[in-house]
Chain A
Amino acid sequence: MSAAVMEQPPQILARAAQGDQDSFSELIEPLLDPAYRLAAVMLADRGAAEDAVQEASVKAWRKLRQLRGDASSLRPWFLSIVANECRMARRTRWWSVIKVADVDAQDRPQPESYSDLHRALLRLSPDDRLPLVLHFYLDLPLDEVAKALHVSPSAAKSRIYRSAKRLRADLTMEEVF
């Protein structure tokens, strides 16, 4: 998928930035699946995840001219917008309604079928899950993880390792990277 995005001719990005909705859709649709997965893991709520991706897409459409770099920057840029939307969605939920999915995720005894790793993952904060999703689940290279987190590559590496250590204390750096 990364290669697919990188192969987009720069003209598509330029046309999208000039307001061509079809070009924007062509750019963004390959990113919807990873964006949804990221949101679903951060929010532990599939409906809210789709809402967050939709809101992030609209924001990306309106702010596409602020994208710096070429089409290869689009994926980390868009995923960082999705992550921000997820944070906002969680803040909104704090003062509105606690959804059943939240209660489920937080309070319900975890099914027997869950592995220790799965249970540990659910105990992590969404911001701790984020670097793990980007690196392991979406398989982003370190420099894209760094762009999505708005940190340096070394800081991104450190965050990935720290979160992974919270899942399994005996992990070594070599096992993670």
Chain B
Amino acid sequence: MSNENFRRELNRAFDGMSGQPSPTLARRIRSAVAQPPAARSYYWMAAAAAVVIAVLLVGVLFVANPLHRPTSNVGGPAPSPSASPSASPPATPSPSASPTQASAPFQCGTTYGPITQNGPAVAYVSDVRTGSHPGYDRITITFGNGAPTSVEVKTQTNATFTKDPSGQTVNLRGDSGLLVTIRGADEHTTYSGSTDFKTGYTKLQEAQQVQDFEGVVQWALGLSGNTCYRVYLLTSPDRVVIDAQTGT
């Protein structure tokens, strides 16, 4: 088949597919062009409205936090104290298990928080435990009825702390320290375990409760060496987890 034959047969096939346009097509198009553009922008306006509504809905849900999920803050400088909670990591029944956050970065020598979150007027401490793991020593403070409203961790270059309200000075094991302050909490109503752990770990050498008064619970942590640590606020059960990095 020559070029001309090929072209001719192709055009015949195209003719068969297309036929002739309607004689009214040009008039239709003149009429459509003459329509005001506002009528044609209906779909764009509807789409824009849908986007605005979706953004507003997400914003309202984010701010209102209907599920009252506490924030899961992992290490690092604290966000705004009024930061809204986000999705929590998976439950970790034992303080020795933290499969999902093990690689979170540590912060050294800086204050954490205070982080505020939704919770009951008083969060009752139900358990305090310590543990040693590859790369970090851990203390976990668990609450039985919801998360405490505020958590703060401050570092210090010695292991000397002041008990409140007695004002008594205590020297913990180690040569540096972390002071964990939990507001909106109570440790004497439902917790009857130890308030002074002399752990024998390489990093977290001692953990002692130094305040449980007027809704404020403080734990002093005596460390050896640098104060590199990270904090998790976890749920199911609600708990504050502090890891002190070993090898520093």
Say yes or no: B18 contacts A117, CB within 8 Å: no
Interface residues on A, range: 35 or more
The answer to whether the Cβ of A175 comes within 8 Å of any Cβ in the partner chain is yes
The verdict on A2 contacting chain B, using a C-beta distance below 8 Å, is: no
| Surface stretch bound by A, among B22-30, B148-156, B176-184, B190-198 | B22-30
Residue of A46, A61, A118, A136 touching B19 (CB-CB under 8 A): A46
Query: How many contacts A-B (CB < 8 Å)?
Result: 92
B34 on the interface (CB 8 Å rule)? Answer: yes
Q: A121-B13, A175-B6 are in contact. Are A46 and B18 (CB under 8 A)?
A: yes
A residues near B, CB below 8 A? 21, 24-25, 28-29, 32-33, 36-37, 40-41, 44, 46, 49-50, 53-54, 57-58, 61-62, 114-115, 117-118, 121-122, 132-133, 136-137, 164, 167-168, 171, 174-176
Report A71 CB to chain B, min CB distance, Å.
18
The minimal Cβ–Cβ distance linking A31 to chain B, given in whole angstroms, is 10
Starting from the known contacts A32-B29, A164-B6, 12 additional A-B residue pairs (CB-CB under 8 Å) come to: A21-B33, A21-B34, A36-B21, A36-B25, A40-B18, A54-B25, A62-B37, A114-B13, A117-B13, A118-B12, A121-B14, A122-B17
Minimum CB–CB distance from A103 to chain B (whole Å) comes to 16
**CB-CB nearest in chain A for B9:** A117
Alpha-carbon separation in the docked complex, A171 to B10 (Å): 13
Grouping DSSP codes into helix (H, G, I), strand (E, B) and loop, the A interface class, with mixed when no group exceeds half, is: helix
Chain B residues with CB under 8 Å of A61's CB are: 33
Contacts of A133 in B (CB 8 A): 14
Assembly CA distance A176 to B6 (angstroms): 8
Give bound CA distance, A36 to B28, whole Å: 13
**Cβ A58 vs Cβ B33 within 8 A:** yes
Task: Output the least CB separation between A47 and chain B (Å).
Answer: 9
Binding site for A on B (CB under 8 A): 1-3, 6-7, 9-14, 16-19, 21-22, 25-26, 28-30, 32-35, 37, 40
Max chain A C-beta neighbours (<10 A), residue from B1, B10, B11, B12:
B10
B18 x A136 contact (CB < 8 A):
no
Sample (29) of A-B pairs whose CB atoms are under 8 Å apart = A21-B33, A29-B26, A32-B25, A32-B26, A36-B21, A41-B18, A50-B25, A54-B28, A54-B29, A57-B32, A57-B33, A58-B32, A114-B16, A115-B13, A117-B6, A117-B10, A118-B12, A118-B16, A121-B13, A121-B14, A132-B10, A133-B14, A136-B7, A136-B10, A137-B10, A168-B1, A175-B1, A175-B6, A176-B6
How many Å lie between the Cα of A137 and that of B25 in the bound state? 20
Are B28 and A50 in touch, CB under 8 angstroms? yes
- Report the separation of the CA atoms of residues A114 and B12 in the bound assembly, to the nearest whole angstrom: 10
Task: Report the minimal beta-carbon distance from B18 to chain A, rounded to whole angstroms.
Answer: 4
